[in-house]
Amino acid sequence: MGMSQLKICVLGCGGFIGSHLVERILSTTNWLVLGIDRDGSKIAAHRNNSRFSFVKGDIDSCKDAGEFIEKSDVVVSLAALCNPSLYNTIPLEVIQSNFVRPLSIVEKCSQLKKHLVHFSTCEVYGTTVSASMHRPFDPKTDVFIEDKTPFILGPIHAQRWSYACAKQLLERAIFAHGFEHGLAYTIIRPFNFIGPRMDFIPGVDGEGVPRVLACFMEALLFGTSLKLVDGGNNFRCFTYIDDAIDALMIVLSYPQKANNQIFNIGNPDNEITIQGLAKLMTRLYGELRPDFAGGPALIENVTAKEFYGKGYEDSDRRVPDITKAKTLLHWTPKTLLADALKTTMAFYIKEYGNLILKQEAI
Ligand code: NAD
Ligand code: UGA
């Protein structure tokens, strides 16, 4: 890819998406990566790469952040708290990390005339029009279209929406910087990316409640029950991380195709209910670990209040319209859900399976 040696600043390079982006850039281009994260464990394999400058620290207090932005051609802004279990439990930190802090990155990019690739979320859309009107899903009004669909978030006390609202306000600030100061930007709205290195397994390499994929993997690996929040009737479109990184690489390689655009990056063909996901992952786990003596996993219903606490509300369904990404970026996601899950689950089994067996033996 591209002959010129781009310098890419990746804020939050040690997270799930960041680690895949760093890996792809270093393995397929001659670009330089200047990255910052509080946690370097997921990118440890690249620390000795001479094209990767990594600073372990907090973006807020780290003096290298400004310098990295200044030195770069493009800034990819990923760092955020993005786990639904936090939205109604530490909402102030969620707002800080999804609006207040990234706003200063936006301002810096605007001032220094740097192309900003900012990671927003499909959660900005909130619930579907149909759900808010208490009528059945209608693809005509309910598929999410970047520059058309209205945003429907719950009331203030439903703090689940603190994240979506913070991300939405930041999108508005980015748009305004484009409008008033000529900021060149691209906003990505991811739809439930999944893949290796996503989140953590509680009690092994992290604490708290991760996103659904890691919650279900924890249950399968430990032989406990998979918990369905409010019956698991809500839908998600899961997108394989390699497909998502393909889209991002096109944005970075051909910024003119993506300038001042917002893109849904998701796979509408991979829609499933959370209950369906629990059943599919249970079946695949049995296939991937036929020797595992734990027997079939159990599925348990829990209320949202029991699982997440007060103030949680869910998105009912989020189907991306990806016409814009197909047309402008010539990008189409390729990986079907079962294949994405098989690769991802095989990673978790390899990474954590023996560790957990050892922990249980103690
Ligand atoms: P992640 O939690 O795996 O990665 C975020 C990284 O940012 C972490 O490594 C964390 O240590 C780092 N970080 C956070 N605050 C920091 C700070 N102040 N200083 C230094 N490092 C900091 O999350 P992810 O799944 O990779 O998501 C990345 C971005 O994409 C987020 O902005 C998220 O809102 C957005 N997003 C992701 C998804 C998805 O499907 N994964 C979906 C929608 C939106
Ligand atoms: C996620 C997060 O907000 C962000 O990471 C991101 O911005 C966005 O969506 C995205 O990935 O596109 P959500 O999809 O609600 O939000 O988060 P998950 O934790 O993955 O939950 C998905 C669904 O599974 C929800 O309905 C949740 O209630 C349910 N769930 C979760 C269970 O039924 N059981 C569990 O053990 C965990």
Over its C-alpha atoms, the chain yields an Rg (Å, rounded) of 20
- Distance (Å, rounded) from C-alpha 66 to C-alpha 60? 10
pLDDT of residue 2: 47
Phi, psi of 127 (to 5 degrees): -90, 165
Would you list the domain boundaries of the chain?
A: 80-361
Ligand 1 pocket list (CB less than 6 A): 12, 14-18, 36-39, 58-60, 78-80, 82, 97, 119, 121, 190, 192-193
- CB of 125 within 6 A of ligand 2: the answer is no
Q: How far is the CA of 37 from the centre of ligand 1 (A)?
A: 10
DSSP reduced 3-state for 229? strand
Residues whose CB falls within 8 Å of the CB of residue 205, separated by 6 or more in sequence, listed in order: 41
Contact 221, 348 (CB under 8 A): yes
CB atoms within 10 A of CB 254: 14
Pocket test for ligand 2, best of 119, 193, 274 (most atoms within 8 A of CB): 274
- CB of 239 within 6 A of ligand 2: the answer is no
- CB of 126 within 6 A of ligand 2: the answer is no
> Would the CA dihedral through 122, 162, 196, 64 be positive or negative?
positive
Pocket test for ligand 2, best of 17, 160, 211, 218 (most atoms within 8 A of CB): 211
- Distance (Å, rounded) from C-alpha 214 to C-alpha 194? 10
CB atoms within 10 A of CB 58: 12
Q: Exposed, middle or buried, 122 (CB in 10 Å: 0-12/13-18/19+)?
A: buried
Cβ density class 77-96: b for 16+ within 10 Å, e for less: bbbbbbbbbbbbbebeebbb
Catalytic (active-site) positions: 163
Closest atom of ligand 1 relative to the 83 alpha carbon: 2
Contact 174, 260 (CB under 8 A): no
- CB of 168 within 6 A of ligand 2: the answer is no
Per-residue pLDDT of the chain (362 residues; tens, 9 = 90+): 445 799 999 999 999 999 999 999 999 999 999 999 999 999 999 999 999 999 999 998 888 899 999 999 999 999 999 999 999 999 999 999 999 999 999 999 999 999 999 999 999 999 999 999 999 999 888 999 999 999 999 999 999 999 999 999 999 999 999 999 999 999 999 999 999 999 999 999 999 999 999 999 999 999 999 999 999 999 999 999 999 999 999 999 999 999 999 999 999 999 999 999 999 999 999 999 987 766 677 999 999 999 999 999 999 999 999 999 999 999 999 999 999 999 999 999 999 987 666 666 65
DSSP reduced 3-state for 261? strand
- Distance (Å, rounded) from C-alpha 112 to C-alpha 107? 9
CATH of domain 80-361: 3.40.50.720
Contact 103, 175 (CB under 8 A): no
pLDDT of residue 99: 98
- CB of 218 within 6 A of ligand 2: the answer is no
277: number of CA atoms within 13 Å, CB side? Answer: 30
The H or E element spanning position 239 is strand 239-240
> Quick one: which of 257, 230, 206 has its CA closest to 313?
230
* pTM score: 0.97
